Amino acid sequence: MSNEKPTSTRPEPWISVIGIEEDGVRGLSDLGLSLIKDCDILLAGQRHLDMVSDDLSPKAERMTWPSPFSSTFSIIAEMKGKQVVILATGDPMFCGIGGTLTRFFDWSELRVLPAKSAYSLAASRIGWPLDKCSLLTIHGRDPAGIVPHIQPGAKLIILSKNGGSPSLLASKLCEIGANDAEITVLEHMGGEKEKIIETSAHALSEAGDALPFADLNVIAVEIPSDFRNWLSTSPGLPDDAFEHDGKMTKRDIRASALAKLAPRPGAHLWDVGTGCGSIAIEWLRAAPNTSAIGLEPQEKRRAFAKHNAKTLGVPRLQLIDGTAPDGLMGLDGPDAIFVGGGLSSETLNFCLDALKPGGRLVAHAVTLSSEALLLSCFSEHGGELTRLSIAKAQPVGLHFGWKASMPVTQWVYVKGNDIKKQEGLAS
């Protein structure tokens, strides 16, 4: 047996992403300083560029972030063959530029030297275990995204966009009744200008612009344990959580559909005939980093869906004006599909072809003709066929009786399971 140690075949990276803290270059490692000294291009925000003296980086061409920011990655790609150093705040792989770069460049091209993240620094200042916190950001993202995390007793650590973020966040909390939420704003952590301000959502919202904050800040929020105006991220939100015109997948049926669609992190959904968006919205709330497209031909219902998505904390829902199957052509392949409107053989065949291997399709029918279509699909492809019938207690004079809703026929199909069905029939 050879005693030789295996050697790495990883090529030398040409893009170095270096995390930097409030103390500037003084906190960098020898490797970080060496990379800055020898680089050809130094890319950073102006605040970070000002931390690097000409003596430390004598030959580098200095660049600030381009506008629009989306052009950054094509510009960096044109620099290949040169040594590029990018300076970023804290840990670039935690809601930072490092993670974004991995979507555009092979990992072999990148080197990341992280500093302490803003989350770690904030937790160390206020005594919150990070594993007990929700770590969020509203830097470059819609603040509505924090809504699903506002739960009784929750601890949130949120990266700000600028000095106006704390007041904006306080107003958002008050909108949903979390007036007593405790807010701690931490400015310039780790630097000479470090400052910690403790207040409440109500007080901060009332103060508005009268209480200015530094642009470099992190917000810690603690929701009271007795907070009542919250909504679960489990499927089956109350129907009145959505604005709608009566045409929607109702709560109990919706919970069943979501259970069969099985949301998972990073998965992509097509919601065909999305209506007010209830299925797609609950999909997005149920697991992190999910995405969803809602296809809806009626402008009024798309407006409902857009409003509901923002109110319920998933403004990333993408809405498309169109009918199936034409409106689905050219879209990224889905991991799951829900067909709740516009049910036709053409739509189902298109969806079955587009669905990724192992993907899940759930279709609902309420009319006899659409039920017949699902029976045909079940006979041809297998899967599960279920009739869902819901009855709720309603007043009948001085008493209560059962009032039944129209039954729903549900077909559930997992792509790739056709063979298992055929084998079962043969046996």
Q: What is the pLDDT of residues 29-73, one digit of tens each?
A: 999 999 999 999 999 999 999 999 999 999 999 999 998 988 999
182 pLDDT above the threshold of 80? yes
pLDDT at residue 23 is higher than 90: no
Confidence tier at 420 by pLDDT (50, 70, 90): very low
E strand or H helix at 85: strand 84-89
CA distance 266 to 73: 22
How confident is the model at residue 425, as a pLDDT? 40
Q: Binning pLDDT at 50, 70 and 90, where does residue 304 land?
A: very high
The answer on pLDDT for 4 being more than 90 is no
- Over residues 78-106, the mean pLDDT reads 94
Check pLDDT > 60 for residue 228.
Answer: yes
CATH architecture of 119-222: 2-Layer Sandwich (3.30)
The phi-psi region of residue 140 (left if phi > 0; otherwise alpha if psi is between -120 and 50; otherwise beta) is left
Least confident of 194-203, 209-218, 261-270, 292-301: 209-218
Q: What pLDDT shows up at residue 303?
A: 97
The answer to whether the beta carbons of residues 61 and 41 sit under 8 Å apart is yes
**How many Å apart are CA 188 and CA 20, to the nearest integer?**
12
- Predicted confidence (pLDDT) at residue 158 exceeds the cutoff of 90: yes
Pick among 3.30.360.10, 3.50.50.60, 3.40.605.10, 3.40.1010.10: CATH of 15-116: 3.40.1010.10
Q: Answer whether residue 261 shows pLDDT above 90.
A: yes
pLDDT at 278 over 50: yes
Separation between Cα atoms, residue 198 and residue 186, nearest integer Å: 9
pLDDT of residue 376: 95
> Structure tokens of 45?
């925000």
Domain residue ranges of the chain, discontinuous segments joined by +: 15-116, 119-222, 239-426
Above 50 in pLDDT, residue 423? no
C-alpha dihedral, 9 to 12 to 16 to 21, nearest 10°: 70
Spatial separation of the C-alpha atoms in residues 309 and 55, rounded to whole Å: 51
Cβ atoms of 19 and 114 within 8 Å: the answer is: yes
Which pLDDT belongs to residue 246? Answer: 87
For the chain, what percent of residues have pLDDT higher than 70? 95
Residue scoring higher pLDDT (163 or 209): 163
Task: Classify residue 362 as exposed, middle or buried by CB count within 10 Å of its CB (0-12, 13-18, 19+).
Answer: buried
Q: What is the pLDDT of residue 191?
A: 87
Per-residue pLDDT band for 126 (boundaries 50, 70, 90) equals very high
Task: Return d(Cα 170, Cα 183) in angstroms, integer.
Answer: 8
**pLDDT cut 90: percent of the chain above it:** 86
Q: How confident is the model at residue 247 (pLDDT cuts 50, 70, 90)?
A: confident
Location of structure tokens 């999910």 = 290
pLDDT exceeds 70 at position 5: no
Per the document, the length of the chain is 427
Mean pLDDT of all residues in the chain?
Answer: 92
The token pair that represents 92 in the structure block: 């670039």
Cα Dmax for the chain? 89
Quick one: fold of 239-426?
Rossmann fold (3.40.50)
What confidence category does residue 212 fall into, taking pLDDT thresholds of 50, 70 and 90?
confident
Sheet strand arrangement including 134-137: 134-137, 155-159, 217-222, 182-187, 195-200
Please write the tens of the pLDDT for every residue from 341-393. Answer: 779 999 999 999 999 999 999 999 999 999 999 999 999 999 999 999 999 99
d(CA 197, CA 179): 17
Q: Which positions ≥6 away from 6 have C-beta within 8 Å?
A: none
CA 6 to each of CA 2, 111, 425: distance values in angstroms, whole numbers, following the listed order = 10, 21, 53
User: Which pair of tokens denotes residue 326?
Assistant: 């034409």
